[in-house]
Amino acid sequence: MKLQFRAKLLPVEQGQNEVVLNGEEAHELNIELMDRVKLSVDGREAVAMVDHSILFVKRGEIGLFDEIAKALKAKNNDIIPLEVTTRPPSLDFIKKKLDGGVLTGEEIKQIIDDIMGQRLSDAEISA
């Protein structure tokens, strides 16, 4: 399901790819905290995790922290298409390793690709 939101730049460095949606609207759209979403602006794409707030963003807005705004070269009031995505398969590989399993070369490559593509949170990487 593709949705569209109006960009609201939040002049804060978050340290990871996160966006903020209005909590009430997100609940109505079944977009939960820490869900992953894919955003795009003029052919540039980024994956971010969702946070909720009713103070910082209004309905129809998406709050973009510095990291995401710069990656997308987004400006205030840009229309940002949003699509909820699935969690990366590399999370299952990380869990497999934590459970004592041995990773294949392909699984290791997928983890590296997801880290480089900023599709994993800092907490997921540190696991």
20-60 pLDDT per residue, tens: 999 999 999 999 999 999 999 999 999 999 999 999 999 99
Per the listing, tokens 């909590």 go with 23
Q: Can you tell me the distance from the alpha carbon of 42 to that of 87, in angstroms, rounded to the nearest whole number?
A: 24
Between residues 114 and 28, the one the model is more confident about: 28
Per the listing, tokens 């807005």 go with 61
How many CB atoms are located within 10 Å of the residue 42 CB?
Answer: 8
Task: Count Cβ atoms within 10 A of the Cβ of residue 74 and give its class: 0-12 exposed, 13-18 middle, 19 or more buried.
Answer: buried
- The whole-number pLDDT of residue 1 equals 66
Three-state secondary structure call for residue 123: helix
Give 71-112 pLDDT, tens digit per residue. Answer: 999 999 999 999 999 888 888 898 888 999 999 999 999 999
- The whole-number pLDDT of residue 120 equals 79
Per the listing, tokens 């690709």 go with 113
Q: What is the pTM (predicted TM-score) of this model? A: 0.80
Domains of the chain: residue spans and CATH = 2-85 (2.40.40.20), 90-126 (no CATH)
- The whole-number pLDDT of residue 109 equals 92
